């Protein structure tokens, strides 16, 4: 069947946006106007901030425009409509996280363009095996192990992504294939989930610090690990089966098996200079990330420094046109999402959300069986308003700890469960780790929605039995 190419100078018919985008385009402003003019018992700035946030969340969920443009639109409206000052409306861009993303994207680009990603992919497949199912399980286990070495979800994505890019090439499929989508979506999701079950990620460490500061009771690494060990093991299996179910591979085995791997590696020839340079910079990044407890350098500083290094003449591998190919709208997206959280805090709109949260949970907290589910699902919903787990924890956990102390509940148990709730996500804007994984272009927002919905439900079911049955067995009781 032949295709007709438009004649020069004649544009093809414009593509009509999908129905959900049209609904979002209308629903976002409509909901914002309703909240803006609604007779709510709120200060004007708090109400107006919530109105703009509603617009942003609807646009991010239904995608009538690019995520980055939505973020920029929200920041502009916060500023232009007088909701807050410019430095607050665009505060997320002064945070180190968007620039961590930029550095990691440059590192991924260097691994891809130098040919290093393909070579590593073939080599890893040669070790793990040629089965897609075994490869998928190895990715999940690798993420889990990396949590003990590299306490940064974004760094974990930056380390493993080049390997997966090479594996997709080895299987001979495209970015949008089930193999590509399945591997990248589970890499991205688990990099933001396993660090809620180990005292490794920023949110877990912040949770421990707040508990110790406000109650004087430290949370030991071993207690945290043992408390979530059953959940960790069940989650590893659940992640593996979920991806195999939602994204059945086009090819269960690598075509040609190990002979194909050997032939492909032979075809690449000896290591090229660009590959060696890219590998050296990536190894340096991993070494610095895994030893940050010794030198104290921020993971974001490391990512940005290595990203710039691979872009410099002579010592790097990227050319100017390679750097220009980076999707800068993703950096704007992350900066805008972080700005949204800062505006909610400064306008005190977040106080309203916290009040609603406590009014819903309070009747449920008396029973440790129902309390576990109430806390988990409330935390899951509360996270929709904030694009940072650190913002979620820092703005709400002190309220929960004080409530626990005054009502005879164990603040350690409540804090650990609240932090775990921040792992469940449906939309890309909810985490910088998700934005980085999304930036590689192997999955779309609807993929995250599907996988996030399934795994969040599974984690919610695990919590229902973990907290009231297993935790008391190890001395972690709900009541004091």
In whole angstroms, give the CA distance from residue 225 to residue 211.
17
Q: Which residues pair with 479 in a beta bridge?
A: 409
Domain count, the chain: 3
pLDDT band at 2 (very low <50, low <70, confident <90, very high): very low
What is the structure's pLDDT at 252?
86
Is 194 in the same domain as 178?
yes
Contact 418, 211 (CB under 8 A): no
Contact 307, 45 (CB under 8 A): no
**In the predicted model, is pLDDT for residue 7 greater than 50?**
no
In whole angstroms, give the CA distance from residue 382 to residue 400.
13
**In the predicted model, is pLDDT for residue 16 greater than 70?**
no
Is 43 in the same domain as 133?
no
The residue among 49, 69, 93 that closes a domain is 93
**In the predicted model, is pLDDT for residue 395 greater than 60?**
yes
The residue among 278, 299, 330 that closes a domain is 330
- pLDDT > 90: percent of the chain: 26
Is 319 in the same domain as 455?
no
Task: State the average pLDDT over residues 306-312.
Answer: 92
Classify residue 146: in a domain, yes or no.
Answer: yes
Is 353 in the same domain as 316?
no
Render pLDDT for 112-127 as a digit per residue (tens, 0 to 9).
Answer: 788 887 787 777 767 7
In whole angstroms, give the CA distance from residue 174 to residue 168.
7
Classify residue 354: in a domain, yes or no.
Answer: yes
Task: State the average pLDDT over residues 384-391.
Answer: 71
What is the structure's pLDDT at 13?
45
In whole angstroms, give the CA distance from residue 167 to residue 117.
8
Residue 131, SS3 per DSSP: strand
Is 273 in the same domain as 155?
yes
**In the predicted model, is pLDDT for residue 383 greater than 70?**
yes
Per DSSP, the residues of 340-402 read HHHHHHHTTHHHHHHHHHHHHHGGGTTSHHHHHHHHHHHHHHHGGG-S-HHHHHHHHHHHHHH
Is 302 in the same domain as 175?
yes
**In the predicted model, is pLDDT for residue 465 greater than 70?**
yes
Is 71 in the same domain as 166?
no
Is 111 in the same domain as 242?
yes
Classify residue 456: in a domain, yes or no.
Answer: yes
Q: Which residues pair with 310 in a beta bridge?
A: none
What is the structure's pLDDT at 12?
43
119-133, 363-377, 440-454, range with greatest mean pLDDT: 440-454
Classify residue 1: in a domain, yes or no.
Answer: no
Q: Which tops the pLDDT comparison, 421 or 291? A: 421
DSSP assignment letter at 478: S
Contact 167, 135 (CB under 8 A): yes
Q: Is the dihedral of CA 217, 219, 223, 229 positive or negative?
A: positive
Residue 4, SS3 per DSSP: coil
**In the predicted model, is pLDDT for residue 149 greater than 80?**
no
pLDDT band at 217 (very low <50, low <70, confident <90, very high): confident
pLDDT band at 11 (very low <50, low <70, confident <90, very high): very low
What is the structure's pLDDT at 31?
94
In whole angstroms, give the CA distance from residue 161 to residue 177.
16
Is 387 in the same domain as 271?
no
Contact 234, 425 (CB under 8 A): no
Classify residue 246: in a domain, yes or no.
Answer: yes
pLDDT band at 187 (very low <50, low <70, confident <90, very high): very high
Contact 186, 465 (CB under 8 A): no
Task: State the average pLDDT over residues 30-44.
Answer: 91
Classify residue 340: in a domain, yes or no.
Answer: no
What is the structure's pLDDT at 206?
72
Contact 157, 436 (CB under 8 A): yes
**Lowest mean per-residue pLDDT among 186-190, 203-207, 335-339:** 203-207
What is the structure's pLDDT at 387?
65
Is 421 in the same domain as 352?
yes
Render pLDDT for 218-257 as a digit per residue (tens, 0 to 9).
Answer: 777 788 889 999 999 999 999 999 999 999 998 888 777 6
What is the structure's pLDDT at 10?
40
Q: Which tops the pLDDT comparison, 267 or 377? A: 377
Classify residue 156: in a domain, yes or no.
Answer: yes
Classify residue 310: in a domain, yes or no.
Answer: yes
What is the structure's pLDDT at 125?
66
Is 363 in the same domain as 319?
no
Helix ranges (H only) for 172-325 are: 178-191, 202-215, 221-246, 257-268, 273-290, 292-295, 299-309, 320-324
In whole angstroms, give the CA distance from residue 131 to residue 128.
8
Q: Where in the sequence is the domain holding 409, given as residue range(s)?
A: 348-473
**In the predicted model, is pLDDT for residue 46 greater than 50?**
yes
The residue among 330, 364, 397 that closes a domain is 330
Is 112 in the same domain as 151?
yes
């Amino acid at each position: 069947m032949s295709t007709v190419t438009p004649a020069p100078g004649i544009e093809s018919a414009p593509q009509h946006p999908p129905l959900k985008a049209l609904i979002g385009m209308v629903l976002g402003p409509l909901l914002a106007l309703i909240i803006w003019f609604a007779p709510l018992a709120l200060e004007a700035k708090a109400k107006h901030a919530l109105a703009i946030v509603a617009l942003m969340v609807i646009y991010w969920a239904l995608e009538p425009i690019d995520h980055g443009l939505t973020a920029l639109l929200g920041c502009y409206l916060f500023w232009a409509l007088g909701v807050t000052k410019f430095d607050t409306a665009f505060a997320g861009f002064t945070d180190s996280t968007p620039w961590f993303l930029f550095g990691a994207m440059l590192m991924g680009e260097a691994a891809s363009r130098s040919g290093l990603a393909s070579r590593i992919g073939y080599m890893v497949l040669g070790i793990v095996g040629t089965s897609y199912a075994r490869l998928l399980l190895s990715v999940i286990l690798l993420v889990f192990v990396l949590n003990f070495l590299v306490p940064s979800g974004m760094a974990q994505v930056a380390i493993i992504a080049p390997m997966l890019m090479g594996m997709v090439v080895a299987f001979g499929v495209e970015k949008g294939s089930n193999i590509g989508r399945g591997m990248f979506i589970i890499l991205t999701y688990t990099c933001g989930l396993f660090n809620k079950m180990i005292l490794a990620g920023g949110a877990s460490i912040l949770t421990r610090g707040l508990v110790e500061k406000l109650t004087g009771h430290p949370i030991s690494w071993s207690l945290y690990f043992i408390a979530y060990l059953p959940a960790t093991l069940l989650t590893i299996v659940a992640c593996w089966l979920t991806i195999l179910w939602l994204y059945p591979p086009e090819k269960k085995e690598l075509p040609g098996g190990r002979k194909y791997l050997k032939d492909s590696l032979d075809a690449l020839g000896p290591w090229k200079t660009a590959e060696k340079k890219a590998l050296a910079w990536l190894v340096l990044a991993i070494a610095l990330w895994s030893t940050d407890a010794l030198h104290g350098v921020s993971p974001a500083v490391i990512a940005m420094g290595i990203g710039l290094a691979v872009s410099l003449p002579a010592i790097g591998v990227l050319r100017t046109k390679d750097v220009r190919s980076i999707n800068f709208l993703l950096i704007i997206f992350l900066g805008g999402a972080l700005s949204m959280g800062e505006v909610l805090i400064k306008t005190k709109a977040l106080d309203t959300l916290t009040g609603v949260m406590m009014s819903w949970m309070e009747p449920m907290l008396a029973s440790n069986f129902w309390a576990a589910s109430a806390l988990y699902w409330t935390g899951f919903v509360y996270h929709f308003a904030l694009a940072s787990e650190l913002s979620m924890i820092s703005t709400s956990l002190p309220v929960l700890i004080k409530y626990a102390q005054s009502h005879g509940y164990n603040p350690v148990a409540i804090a650990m469960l609240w932090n775990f709730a921040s792992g469940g996500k449906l939309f890309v804007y909810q985490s910088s780790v998700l934005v980085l994984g999304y930036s590689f272009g192997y999955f779309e927002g609807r993929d995250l929605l599907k996988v996030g919905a399934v795994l969040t439900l599974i984690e919610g079911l695990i919590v229902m039995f973990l907290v009231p049955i297993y935790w008391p067995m190890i001395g972690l009781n709900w009541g004091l």
